[in-house]
Amino acid sequence: MEHPFGTLALGLCVLAIALVVLTGLLGPSAAQPPLPGGPSWLPPYHFEARPAAGLATGLLLTAALMGAIGLALALRALGRGWAPDPGRLTLGGAVAALAVVCVPPMGSADHLVYAAYGRLAATGGDPYRDTAATLVREGDPVGVAVEAPWTDVPSVYGPVATAEQWLAARIGGTSVHTIVLVLTLLGAAAFVLTGLLLQRAAGPDRIARARVAILWSLNPLLLFVAVGAGHLDAFALVFAVGALLAVRRSPVLAGVLVGLACAAKISLGLYVLALAWGLRGRPRALAAMIGSALVVGIATYLPVGFGAFDQMRENTKLVSLAVPLRLVLKPLESAVGHDTARSLIGLLGWLLAALVVWLLARTAARARPAAMAHVLRDSAAAAALLSLAWLLTTPYSLPWYDVAAWAPLVLLAPSALDGLLLARSTLLVCAYVPGRVIPLPDAVDTLQRTLRGTVGPWAGAAILVAAVLVSRRAGGLPEAGSQTPAGFENPSRPRSPRSPGVPRS
């Protein structure tokens, strides 16, 4: 079914992705750090236009806003029965991911420190104790390429992430260019595979699968921050999404996969809670899932030692700029001192997250797709709710963290959760461009500081208020055994006995 909003939505998403690729092609800028090394015939490719900071920032802001409007229109069109071909959309998403990988990463310099951690591991160092500065002292070009503020920071990532970085460094040697290429290719492959897994989980319903393709595979915001920026979140998340699909048939496999996800990025431990919720009526399966996850966690962390948690503990004291809790940080520090305030604000974040979960539980329950097997349905709804609540309330959050909530959310029926996450992702992406920690022209610096330090916290607080309003509109709890609205079919067409909305095992 054609829909004017749908056609416009796809056009805006494609244009947003094209702007990201164009910005990358222009070459090193305030958004794109140089990639020393070679060979030059391998991607990523770029010209030496070296755009001004204002131009690079403007292009990426335009891409983010254009993509967000496109996604909003797509959500509206899908809710009115628009049913584009999910196969073509998914293929288009794979092509877009490849195009984004063919230009250098932008939006931060994190990929450079990933390369350094891999180089440390490949040359006998310890990325949980040593830093890029260690490589600099040895004259290693991979360490020299790392930018502030990461030159003296050990790895905060788990051993599975370190293994990925080690592999890239073994292939790339002293070439930052090649190491980063391997990392971004692995991330893009994981992103595309996640989309295929989500398609399988969505089942045969055409609109449900189109929702997955647009909100995941063709999502310009995710293609920019999860693929184009070279972050490892997409690589870690594919294991968690695999666990969601495996939980119904093999809780042991689900535990192994979610254990690997947590051993890449510890915040994905929220998926363990989500899987546990899905298995809450099956105690043996629940024990098997948790047991296998623990075995994987112990087996992966033992070789590197529990010093791998040291930097994670340090990071619990951080508070990023564009989060609501930033608004209370200074008053809290004035009242109880720096260290106590940092400890209290972390606790406050978890209390707020629990409150948001409680407020939005009804909305998430009603968004569970009726056609999906109940274990997957409940696990996906719990993963979306827990991840979204954490993103909205955690003291330290960055735009690429949002992939953890988008993946399970795209499996649910349309709901107010879509708008909350889209608003959060758009806000954070805009707040963190151009991305590099380098001196900027006054106008760009002022814009960045305003978006990140003023607009970000207050807009984040407004999204929390919106979550409260959503909970009030949700009304009472759904009746026991009731199913959610169809959501994926044309609401004007009654469901037939053969409709894919009929529950199946």
CA-angle at 424, arms to 431 and 207, nearest 5°:
130
> What number of CA atoms fall less than 13 Å from residue 213's CA on the CB side?
23
Average pLDDT over residues 178-182: 97
Of 144, 138, 209, which is closest to residue 175 (Cα–Cα)? 144
DSSP character at residue 56:
H
DSSP character at residue 216:
I
DSSP character at residue 402:
G
- Residue 18, classed as helix, strand or coil, is helix
Alpha carbon distance 404, 387 (integer Å): 6
Task: Report pLDDT for 1.
Answer: 54
Q: Which two tokens stand for residue 451?
A: 């978006």
Average pLDDT over residues 370-377: 88
DSSP character at residue 104:
-
Task: Report pLDDT for 503.
Answer: 31
Cα 74 to Cα 78, 217, 473: the distances in Å are 6, 13, 23
Alpha carbon distance 165, 177 (integer Å): 13
Q: Are 172 and 186 in contact (CB under 8 A)?
A: no
Exposed/middle/buried for residue 313 (C-beta within 10 Å: 0-12, 13-18, 19+):
exposed
Alpha carbon distance 60, 40 (integer Å): 25
Longest dimension (CA), the chain: 70
Residues 6+ apart with CB under 8 A from 177: 35, 36, 37, 38, 39, 42, 44
Alpha carbon distance 97, 460 (integer Å): 29
The model's pLDDT over 70-86, given as tens digits with 9 standing for 90+, comes to: 999 999 999 988 999 99
Average pLDDT over residues 326-342: 91
The model's pLDDT over 233-280, given as tens digits with 9 standing for 90+, comes to: 999 999 999 999 999 999 999 999 999 999 999 999 999 999 999 999
The model's pLDDT over 199-222, given as tens digits with 9 standing for 90+, comes to: 999 999 999 999 999 999 999 999
Q: Which two tokens stand for residue 443?
A: 């106008």
Task: Report pLDDT for 318.
Answer: 87
Is the predicted pLDDT of residue 489 greater than 70, yes or no? no
